[in-house]
Structure 1
């Protein structure tokens, strides 16, 4: 009986690799039939500046001006990264992500914390044709 075939995957990270937190996505199907997803972090705006009076004793006094005055009425979507997937890869990642969501929901329900005993990550499986 011969030795079973095997393959080893090695991971190399780009010098620019930098995981980012996202809480939303915007995208759709592009003109070449690929799925385009742009990930963003959504948050309320913050003022560009605010001005305070200085009290006689040198301490910071009341705020008298804010620029822009309507900054709280704006929601910022900071887009840092995006991905483009063909249909086959999108289906494979969809299945993998669905499985990870189910695993996380089970651990949260049973213990109120994620199960990190497996390292918390595993590869999206590729189908060999």
Structure 2
């Protein structure tokens, strides 16, 4: 999660993608006139994450249903972290709203952890990238 705000946290492609997605989500909040360009960049990053992971994982023994790819989860994590941090720093937002934003971020982090464990234990379904070949 720290990689979403800090570009040089660790030398790893997923950390670099997390930083990029965090930057794009901050851009969405700061430059609403660039929504289309930023949305295309986000979609491209999600596909690149999925392709990177897909090339490095073992094929699972049994396909299981999964609602999201790694790229989609990292994108949601970046969006949730950027929003939670922004609400916290504003100071004029109701505490319950800030709490909910950080709680939502925690749920996405848990989803990422569960997905990473499923991949590690070869329980993640294929195709891994949406529309990809198994």
TM-score band by shorter chain is under 0.3
TM-score by length of 2: 0.26
TM-score, normalising length from structure 1? Answer: 0.27
Q: Which has the larger radius of gyration?
A: 1
Q: Which has the higher contact order (CA 8 A, sep 6+)?
A: 2
Write 1 or 2 for the structure with the bigger share of helix.
2
